[in-house]
Homo-oligomer: A and B are copies of this chain.
């Protein structure tokens, strides 16, 4: 299977596979400045919490290259400002803030500009590599939760495209598939931007996994009919109590799965866990432009005069989540304790 490469670092630019054009076109944006990365993040050319973290880290590396100074404190102060800007490009996915702060911390310890450059580049590349490793580890751990034969439902795209490669929720499905589990996948199309129809379906078809596409509204009904053995999704931010922000529609799926006794799994690296937030109520929910709902390919669908609400994410209370798959172990309720254990470095 050809590997999907959503982000590629060349040493002085970040090559971003433009996810708004997939699957019809495989176009690459070459970002040479932090602002170009920020624009690609806002425009969702790169999306998915772990991928946003990696892109944010490289935005910091590009920021260092963009300013010609030998004044270390001046550079550090500039990077602090840039970290804020990058983190605010999309407020819900905590990986973005986590990654830029990690790169910033590495820069703050620098003794010279040469040292700072090396530290920042190394940290960004490390974040990138760690994410791929975390995905593969989540895949190996999570695969054990999937049935030997059955149908898995997923929402939005938590695949190779949403990460540095391999995928979180799709990584688990892929790892199980590679262990010869007889799986079928139901991909919810995921309005408004159709990441399920465009990205998840595309990744799964390339892997050769039998995939069925449905509109988001059909998902609950298929769960009710007994056609889904488990649901697995990614996450944009997990609070200390296990409440999980993910793509809009996830909450509803979790409620229906709970009602019908179908296991509901979240696959998220520890970089997505935000121990500074006690519950999901503290997670900021990004509201995106109304045109994503009212227009299609530049053409107006809805009548003039109608208002729009376009929250990009919702929060699924921990009580609906059967388990959270991290690269450090599978966490089960009570999540406060289990998440604390994995975040403190031990296994769950």
22 A-B interface contacts by CB (under 8 A):
A24-B300, A191-B191, A191-B215, A191-B217, A197-B294, A198-B301, A198-B302, A202-B303, A205-B306, A211-B306, A212-B308, A213-B294, A213-B308, A215-B310, A216-B216, A216-B217, A218-B249, A218-B309, A224-B251, A255-B255, A297-B297, A297-B299
| Residues 291-325 of A at the B interface (beta carbon under 8 Å) | 293-294, 296-297, 299-311, 314-315
Given A189-B293, A220-B255, A251-B221, decide whether A309 and B212 contact each other with a Cβ distance below 8 A: yes
A144 at the interface (CB under 8 A from B): no
**Measured between alpha carbons, how far is A300 from B222 in the docked complex, in Å?**
24
Q: Is the CB of A303 within 8 A of B189?
A: no
Residues of B within 8 A of A296 (CB): 296-297
Q: Is the CB of A221 within 8 A of B248?
A: yes
| Residues 155-206 of A at the B interface (beta carbon under 8 Å) | 186-192, 194, 197-198, 201-202, 204-205
Given A221-B248, A224-B251, A248-B221, decide whether A310 and B202 contact each other with a Cβ distance below 8 A: no
Task: State the oligomeric state as a number of copies.
Answer: 2
Q: Is the CB of B192 within 8 A of A215?
A: yes
A214 at the interface (CB under 8 A from B): yes
**Measured between alpha carbons, how far is A218 from B306 in the docked complex, in Å?**
16
Q: How close is A8's CB to chain B, nearest CB, in angstroms?
A: 22
Q: How close is A252's CB to chain B, nearest CB, in angstroms?
A: 3
Residues of B within 8 A of A307 (CB): 210-213
**Measured between alpha carbons, how far is A70 from B304 in the docked complex, in Å?**
53
A23 at the interface (CB under 8 A from B): yes
Residues of B within 8 A of A301 (CB): 194, 197-198
Residues of B within 8 A of A277 (CB): none
**Measured between alpha carbons, how far is A177 from B297 in the docked complex, in Å?**
35
Q: Is the CB of B212 within 8 A of A306?
A: yes
Q: Is the CB of B251 within 8 A of A255?
A: no
Q: Is the CB of A205 within 8 A of B303?
A: yes
